[in-house]
Amino acid sequence: MSESSLYAVPLTMIDGSPTTFGQFAGKTVLVVNVASRCGFTPQYAGLEALYRRFADDGLVVLGLPCNQFMGEEPGSEEEIQQFCEVNFGVTFPLTAKVDVRGKHQHPLYSQLTAFKKGVLPGLIKWNFEKFLVNADGVIVDRFASTVEPESAQLVGAIEKALARAAA
């Protein structure tokens, strides 16, 4: 999987503006499929805390709303954005809703789920799974929904990726 292939993936941001994953080139990106009505929804607070803590070091948290798991993200993009801002003070970027698996799987998730390292290869199992992409556009880690954003495991992986980028 080459750097250019991940960076070429098209994205539509939550405000409807088109871009590519390449807008994050040179940044460490934590990609998370998110939902507003999930048992893991409180992780928005931890994701925002991570973003604020490490943004100046080059971390971007990218939330991709998904309604594929028990209809836990039923709202429109405008409703999702408002929910995130009002309830969790989210300032990190969000995309328009995507499918993370199945026939209409978003191209970003086609590449992310090809990552085989760790205990979670293959399909996305639930909301709030996390992928860490380093500043070179290489997927370096994957974390289950149960891994809290501010856990030592995730923070350590982010710090390692940021240190590598700074070196």
Q: Which residues carry out catalysis?
A: 38
Residue 94 DSSP one-character state: B
Return d(Cα 68, Cα 34) in angstroms, integer. Answer: 11
Reported in sequence order, the residue ranges of the chain that DSSP labels E, i.e. its strands, are 10-12, 18-20, 28-34, 59-65, 130-133, 139-143
- Which amino acid does the sequence have at 23? Q
The residue written with tokens 């934590």 in the block is 30
The residue written with tokens 């943004």 in the block is 55
Return d(Cα 13, Cα 93) in angstroms, integer. Answer: 8
Give SS3 for 22. helix
